[in-house]
Amino acid sequence: METLAKYPPYRDLVIVYHSVSDEKLKHVQHLFPYRSSKTFIKDVDELSKAFDFIDWETFLERKTSKNKIGKPNLLLTFDDGYSDFHDVIAPILKQKGIYAINFINPKFIDNKDLMWRCKASLLISKIEENKDLLQQISSFKSLQLNPVVSDIKKNLLSIKFENQNLLDELATFLNIDFKTYLAQNKVYLTTDELLKLKQDGFGISAHGWDHPLYQELSLDGQLDNTQKALDFLENLGLNNDSFAFPFTDFGVKNDFFEKLSKANPRLQYTFGAAGLKLDSRFKNLQRIPLEVENYSAKQVIKNEIIYYNLLKLIGKHRIKLEIISLLR
């Protein structure tokens, strides 16, 4: 790993996780392979041998500095504002002196609601556990669902943001209550925990209001969803100088970045999650997702570096953004 650190194409990498838990999390178990606490600690310890974990202020300073001395740097980020960031992750990071930012969706803070994809995962989990539900599923007319778990999983995970009401309808049909699940399970961070995490030195920033897929929104919808989240953070005295796209920034046009920056002069960087790639907008940075099943963080980053260098050989290492000028 020490030799691997010599080869990143640039010296400030940004990595992203969602959850770390030793429990079975029904609301995310079908969405991504989250780490156990033991595996996460192993990830962090291995990465520390080759990289320096840095905080947000150091990251900003490094981006404007040409100093190339020392190890390459890692900025550690998390998405979605899950409660394990306070209960599991922060204690580990505090012990090791490592900073992280959590990009949150304010709509779900204080367990007020469950993100639509989490609803799909929870429904799949409940159906897998209960054969009676499996028998009922074919009677749900709003969706044509075969009583086969693999087909149900594929269909529910393919439901789009704009049709998320179908998940609520199916839950009602199957007598599954999302509010009861939230009452019995602390899924998201609370407002008090956000403020405590800030006091402890961690970053809290914006991930959109309710985790839509941005390419499915109009330009006005993209801007409104983002601004609502940034305003929530500002009102609490939290970070409103960065924003991470839910899912991906794929399909987002230049107009969005220009209008968002104009309305938010404090905004420093936006983040995608396309892996180790350069972006045609130098203040839109791509993060490396580390929750890859059966791969350690070390292996993921190594593979990303190899893949980047292969893409560079054929000129495909930079994400090209469709430029649509506001001045036309």
Which comes out higher in pLDDT, residue 10 or 75?
75
The CATH code of the domain that includes 84 is: 3.20.20.370
Is 279 contained in some domain?
yes
pLDDT, one tens digit per residue, over 163-178 is 999 999 999 999 999 9
**Separation between Cα atoms, residue 18 and residue 80, nearest integer Å:** 7
* Secondary structure element (H or E) that encloses residue 84, with its range: helix 84-84
CA atoms in the 13 A half-sphere facing the CB of 308: 22
Within a domain: 190: no
pLDDT in tens, 23-49: 999 999 999 999 999 999 999 999 999
Whether 324 has a pLDDT exceeding 50, the answer reads no
Mean pLDDT, the chain, whole residue set? 91
CA of 46: how far to CAs of 91, 105, 146, 184, 298, in Å?
Answer: 18, 30, 45, 36, 7
How does pLDDT run across 253-295, given as a tens digit for each residue?
999 999 999 999 999 999 999 999 988 898 999 999 999 999 9
pLDDT at 298: 93
Residue 326 has pLDDT above 60, yes or no: no
Q: What domain range is 152 assigned to?
A: 116-183
Closest by CA to 179, choosing from 168, 170, 190, 189, is 168
Torsion of CA 163, 168, 174, 176, to 10 degrees: 140
Q: Which residues pair with 103 in a beta bridge?
A: 79, 205
Of 136, 154, 183, which residue sits at a domain end? 183
Question: How many residues does this entry show for the chain?
Answer: 328
Same domain, 239 and 288: yes
Contacts of 102 (CB under 8 A, 6+ apart): 77, 78, 79, 81, 85, 189, 197, 202, 203, 204, 205
Cα gap 202→238, rounded to integer Å: 10
Asked, for residue 76, whether it belongs to a domain, the answer is: yes
| 290 and 142 within one domain | no
The answer to whether residues 264 and 292 belong to one domain is yes
69 pLDDT band (50/70/90 cuts)?
A: low
pLDDT for position 260: 98
Same domain for 135 and 80: no
Please report which confidence band the pLDDT of residue 3 belongs to, taking 50, 70 and 90 as the band edges: low
For residue 7, name the pLDDT band (cuts at 50, 70, 90): low
Closest Cα to residue 18, out of 250, 246, 228? Answer: 246
Dihedral in degrees, nearest 10, Cα atoms 58, 63, 69, 73 = 60
**Do 103 and 241 have their domain in common?**
yes
221 and 271 in a single domain? The answer is yes
Are 312 and 176 part of one and the same domain? no
Taking residues 61-88, report their average pLDDT: 86
pLDDT at 206: 98
Q: What are the tens digits of pLDDT across the range 181-199?
A: 999 999 999 999 999 999 9
Q: How many domains does the chain have?
A: 2
pTM of the model: 0.93
CB atoms within 10 A of CB 108: 22
Name which of 133, 158, 137, 157 is nearest 146 in CA terms: 137
Residue 327 domain-assigned (yes or no): no
